Structure 1
Amino acid sequence: MPNDCITYQNSGYFSDLIIDYLNQKPSLQSLYNRFPTLENFEEQIEEKQNQYNDSNRTILVAVLKQQYQNVVPSELSKKNIELLLNSNTFTVTTGHQLNLFTGPLYFLYKIISTINLTKKLKATYPNSNFVPVYWMATEDHDFEEINYFTFKGKKFRWNKESTGPVGRLSTKGLEEVFEIFAKEIGNSNNANSIKKLFQESYLKHHTLADATRFLANALFGESGLVIIDGDHHDLKKLFIPYVKKELLNQNSSTLVSETITKLKDYTIQVNPRPINLFYIKENFRERILLEDDIFKVNNTKIQFSETEILYELEKYPENFSPNVILRPLYQEVILPNLCYIGGGGEIAYWLELKSLFDTSKITFPILLLRNSALLVTEKQEKKADKLSLSWKDLFSKQSDLVNEKTKQISAFPIDFTIQKEQLKNQFSYLQAIARQTDQSFIGAVKAQKAKQIKGLENLEKRLLKAQKRKHAEALGRITDLQNELFPNQSLQERTVNFSEFYLENGENLMNNLFSELKPLDKAFNIIIL
């Protein structure tokens, strides 16, 4: 069976910025606080303990208890919530959108990475407590990104109009999605468990936030996960000073823009707005603009003078929603947090924010790339072995894989490198003669050399193409397996819903994930189910 290891850096699925971050490239070190190693958490704990306002803990715990009123937390989750009152308790946090029925697999990987890291930290630093937190992105308004999930190649979509914060959205209409999905998955014991989970989450709760909280608690409550919704008056009240500074000074735009200039060699994940805040109500979430000393809410007739908007902020802080630039700061003000666990795109935009945190005098968290995994059945593993495929082969681009395997299968070499070198040597002799004559003959030799090299390259391509036709059946088996493991030639974890694997494996799926995902490792997990 394949036994090679695929690091994140050589997987082909991460940006140059993330690869350089993982490699701790010196030019990036000013953009983060501490690299995610177990030893570095000792200083992170001390710094956060000194910086965090412990008076926030009482408010945090009170809000969490209120948000759990319609959910039955596990004993461990209840204990973790109470522990947050203590000054030696810290969080490890991940965040995610409210994707329908968890969306793609990496929702699970994020949260399991978070839970597993808290266990590792407790074993290493027993005098402190560590609570895994899932921050629900309830204030997002990109409904089209979250209103579906994919099961066995089929999309199950929730067709509904939505313009405001998705967490406040009514779950009405999900009965239809359930009916279609229920018919698709059958009536096995595992299928019935999946159906029950969907029903209890979405058909018995009135808002998407409540449904997602129930779902995450059902999946991870026994492991002590604490789920928080930042869309709350009392939590927003703690953030008022930072919102006020943003409204009056707009310094986040300047600070982040300066950092972006340091990242000029990379693709920029997010760009700041002049004011990085939204104004939200039940049915809209719109940007706040400043025009001629008047604060205007985009696409509405709502506007405020400076005095009026500051009064609004003091009285109704829940109406102010941080965008992607300020949301991380909001999270770190509220939570006694040590580490944020996210995907490559998330870590990329966090790397733009350290100067904003420094200016705000808030400890910048350790940034940890979440675990990634490829789930493989025993049948698929045996097939890979039979086809002499390594994991490196399967992670490669399909065109490269097909070309490489065609060359391996072929009974003779499909590589004219030797012939091209011989040709170059022959032309070296002609070029030596040409240098003793006039310029026109030198040009003729060069042109002929290029023509013949090109001719050999074309013959090489035609031979490769012919061999692909000859070995089409064997190559088809190879590409079929890769397509199974990498749907649409992308990572499985970015497409497939957990229910597809739960249907066949039940609780063994979760047990395997908890056992195999090691958050401080930097390699893809190949998990055989």
Structure 2
Amino acid sequence: MNNVQIESVMLPFGQKIVHDYINEYSKTAELYPYHPYEQESYERRLRWLSEHPHANRAALADGLLAWNTSVGNTHERVRENIEALRQPDTYAVVTGQQAGVLTGPLYTIHKAITALRMAEEQQKRLGVRVVPIFWIAGEDHDYEEANHVYVQTKGGDVEKQRLNHEAAGRTSVTHLVIPQDALHEYIDAFFAEQIETEFTGDLKAHLHTFAKESATLTDFFARTLVWLFGEAGLILIDSAAPFVRVLEQDGFAQVIRRNEELNEAVAVQGQKLTTLGYHRQVETERSSAQFFLYRNGERSGVERLVDGTFRTRDGAVYTEEELLTLLAHDPESFSANVVTRPLMQEWLLPVLAFVGGPGEVAYWGLYARMFAVFGLAMPPVVPRLSFSLLEGAVQKNMRKFDLSTHDVLTKLTEKRDAYLAAQDTLHLDEKFAEVKQQMKELYMPLIEEASGIEQGLRVLGEKNLDKILEQVDFYAKRSQSAFVKKHESSLRQFDRIRTALFPMDKPQERVYNIFGYLNKYGVEWFREFRSYPYDVTSEHLAVRVE
């Protein structure tokens, strides 16, 4: 790549289960059937898939073709990949994310890149067709998570920009109609905080076109992803699409009939997690039915009662047979939750591997026993690639302070403090401490002698000494403040590095949005970034961008 240079850095993982899964797999082997970075895992998974063929490939391909066409994903490679799914020897690397405005945080982009790379990698290694699929979790109703992005403003602050539209109730994002005016206003507000570049006009024009063609946030999200990844062959699927519900009917029927077994499996696996010393990422009650029903336009949770009936959050009660009848006549009334979504993916798609973020990797540790209940096998769960984008200004400041990539990603505060300490050639802190100690040593004998004259002079002398030392501390603080002010320009440069890489004290990829970078560096840069032949490993990738 001409414009992108890559450096690998090992970073710690925040969750113990993810660290052990990646670095000490044997500790987690009871939870995850496959090691994510051993090729034998994918060879074994391929054998299992070939022995358990998917029955609905033709209907799946028809549905995918129609839905992708509806959101403009008509690129030749996409059509070829969808058509390939009709064949029994084509498999998929699946990733996904809830639909978010302007594609949400950077990690959404990183998931798609990982799925593309992994599909390419495994197709070569296994000698079978492997296609990348992005699962849009359109049935989710967490609108507050999807309706905003954070931007670094022209003034250098980090600001939350929220879509000016309120959602009533628990409506799935796919079913939530967004006024086009709100989308257009949002696009303009986003770019109002960006520096005008040669790329700004084109980006805004594309996004405004997508807004005109979109009735929902899922539409807008999908069309934007198509523009960024369609030519690379990324297939999109909306979990709330009607054809998906039809193909999931048998899966929901099994979940209804074997609901108690499902929950028992999850509970037992949860106990195993705890026994092994891990935190349960997903807390779920044994009474949860692990699916939702759409009632009066809202997504309502369902619980299983002790008498075997099912009750929705709004109080409606169904027998098992009534639910099965509703499923047969109106499959779109049903919606998976965080527990049953992996099952639905498995029933629907020939999943060679699932790509997820650290949180997803952690909660998949609950599922292996659940898969087995239904005669399925949990796929390899692969941590998505993680990136930090090091822009030119950041690189310049790194060179100025002789900071390595490892330094800025793991110990920036320590390096900042060390730099400041190195500038203190007068060693003021030590000198003020010495002066205070000398004052004590000179004054205390005098207090002792004076107290021999009158005992009350001891208390007065000690108070007097405290006041003197307070004045020394005051002067020391003023001197330290002046010292810091003298070097505030350099300290601001350290702060700019932090704001670029750890906005709001979080990793860059969890906060910023890809369009801030597209505005500065253009779509051609992004194509190179997207297409680089990354190895799918656990190493963090620092990308130098000019």
- TM-score if structure 1 supplies the norm length? 0.83
Query: Pick from 357, 362, 375: which aligns with 2:389?
Result: 375
Counterpart CA distance in 2 for 1:142 and 1:349 is: 18
Which residue number in structure 2 is paired with residue 18 of structure 1? 18
Q: CA deviation at 1:305?
A: 2.5
- Check 1:117–1:20 CA distance in 2 against 1; reply closer, same or farther (3 A cut): same
Partner of 2:278: 266
Q: CA deviation at 1:467?
A: 7.0
| Structure 1 CA distance for aligned equivalents of residues 241 and 247 of structure 2 | 10
1:421 aligns with: none
Secondary structure in structure 1 of the residue aligned to 2:91: strand
Deviation at 1:476, TM superposition (A): 4.0
Per-residue deviation, residues 102-151 of structure 1 (Å, max 9, x unmatched):
0111111110111111111222233x101100000000000000001122
Give the equivalent residue in structure 1 for 2:162. Answer: 157
One-letter amino acid of the structure 2 residue matched with residue 106 of structure 1: Y
Which shows bigger deviation, 176-185 or 68-77?
Answer: 176-185
Q: Secondary structure of the equivalent of 1:52? A: coil
Distance 1:3 1:223, change over 3 A: closer
C-alpha displacement at 1:77, in angstroms? 0.3
Give distance in 1, aligned partners of 2:126 and 2:326.
Answer: 44
1:346 counterpart = 2:347: no
Match of 2:448 in 1: none
- 8 A contact 1:406–1:468 mirrored in 2: no
Distance in 2 of aligned mates of 1:414 and 1:56: 76
How many pairs were matched up?
477
1:8 is aligned to 11
Alignment of 1:323-402 (within 5 A): 323-396=337-410, 399-402=413-416
What are the Cα deviations for residues 402-432 of structure 1, in whole angstroms up to 9, with x where unaligned?
444445555599999xxxxxxxxxxxxxxxx
Q: 1:98 to 1:517 in 2, by over 3 A?
A: farther
SS at match of 2:29: helix
User: Aligned AA for 1:167?
Assistant: T
Is the contact between residue 512 and residue 527 of structure 1 (CA under 8 Å) also seen in structure 2? no
Q: Which runs of 5+ in 2 are unaligned?
A: 153-157, 431-475
Give the fraction of aligned pairs with identical amino acids, expressed as a percent. 25
Question: Secondary structure of 1:69's partner?
Answer: helix
Q: Give the distance between the partners of 1:289 and 1:337, measured in 2 at CA.
A: 29
Partner of 1:166: 173
Q: For 1:464 and 1:527, locate their aligned partners in 2 and report how far apart those are by CA, in whole Å.
A: 41
Greater shift in the superposed pair: 327-336 or 309-318:
309-318
Amino acid at match of 1:161: A
Please state how far the C-alpha of 1:466 moved relative to its aligned partner: 8.2
Q: Which residue does 1:48 correspond to in 2?
A: 49
Distance 1:96 1:284 in 2: 21
Instruction: State how far apart, in whole Å, the 1-side matches of 2:172 and 2:6 are.
Output: 46
Instruction: Please name the residue that 2:216 is paired with.
Output: 207
Which deviates more from structure 2 when the two are superposed, residues 360-369 or residues 65-74? Answer: 65-74
Match of 1:272, SS? coil
Structure 1 residues 8 and 335: CA distance shift in structure 2, 3 A: farther
Structure 1 residues 72 and 253: CA distance shift in structure 2, 3 A: closer
Bigger mean CA deviation after superposition, 180-189 or 22-31:
180-189
Pairing of 1:158-197 with structure 2 (within 5 A)? 158=163, 159-162=165-168, 163-172=170-179, 173-185=182-194, 188-197=197-206
Contact 1:36–1:520 (CA<8 Å) still a contact in 2?
A: no
Q: Note if contact 2:294-2:300 (Cα within 8 Å) is conserved in structure 1.
A: yes
2:483 to 465, 470, 476: 470
Deviates further, 192-201 or 496-505: 192-201
TM normalised by structure 2 equals 0.81
1:312 offset after TM fit, Å?
Answer: 0.7
Partner of 2:102: 101
Deviations 1:347-371 (A, max 9, x none): 1111111111122122211111111
For 2:234, the equivalent position in structure 1 comes to 225
Matched residue of 2:354: which SS? strand
CA positional deviation for 1:240 = 3.3
Q: 1:246 to 1:217 in 2, by over 3 A?
A: same
Task: Verify the 8 A CA contact 1:202 1:208 in the aligned structure 2.
Answer: no
Any idea what SS the aligned residue of 2:9 has?
coil
In the alignment, is residue 29 of structure 1 matched against residue 23 of structure 2? no
Cα distance in 1 for partners of 2:135, 2:527 equals 23
Equivalent residue number for residue 63 of structure 1: 63
CA RMSD in angstroms comes to: 2.8
Task: Report the more deviating stretch, 503-512 or 493-502.
Answer: 503-512
Cα displacement (A) at 1:492: 0.8
Residues 20 and 27 in structure 2, CA contact (< 8 A), matched pair in contact too: no
Question: Which amino acid is 1:500 matched to?
Answer: G
Q: Residue in 1 aligned with 2:538?
A: 522
Higher radius of gyration, 1 or 2: 2
- 2:311 alignment counterpart: 296
Do the aligned partners of 2:355 and 2:384 also contact (CA within 8 Å) in 1?
yes
Question: Match of 2:321?
Answer: 307
Contact 2:57–2:85 (Cα < 8 Å) also in 1: yes
Instruction: Spell out, residue by residue over 1:281-319, the C-alpha distance to the aligned partner (whole angstroms, 9 max, x if none).
Output: 572111112334432210x24332232122112222221
Contact 2:138 2:172 in 1 (8 A): yes
1:371-407 Cα distance to aligned partner (Å, 9 max, x none): 1111112232121021122223222366544444445
**Is the 1:164–1:284 contact (alpha carbons within 8 Å) kept by the matching residues of 2?**
yes
Question: Using a 3 Å threshold, how does the CA distance of structure 1 residues 468 and 523 change in structure 2: closer, same or farther?
Answer: farther
Unmatched runs of 5 consecutive residues or more in structure 1: 417-462
Q: Matched residues in 2 for 1:76 and 1:211: separation?
A: 21
Letter aligned with residue 142 of structure 1 = D
What CA deviation, in whole Å up to 9, does each residue of 1:438-494 have, x standing for no partner? xxxxxxxxxxxxxxxxxxxxxxxxx99987973553444323322232211211111
Please tell me whether the aligned partners of residues 516 and 525 of structure 1 are also in contact (alpha carbons under 8 angstroms): no
1:280 matched residue in structure 2? 294
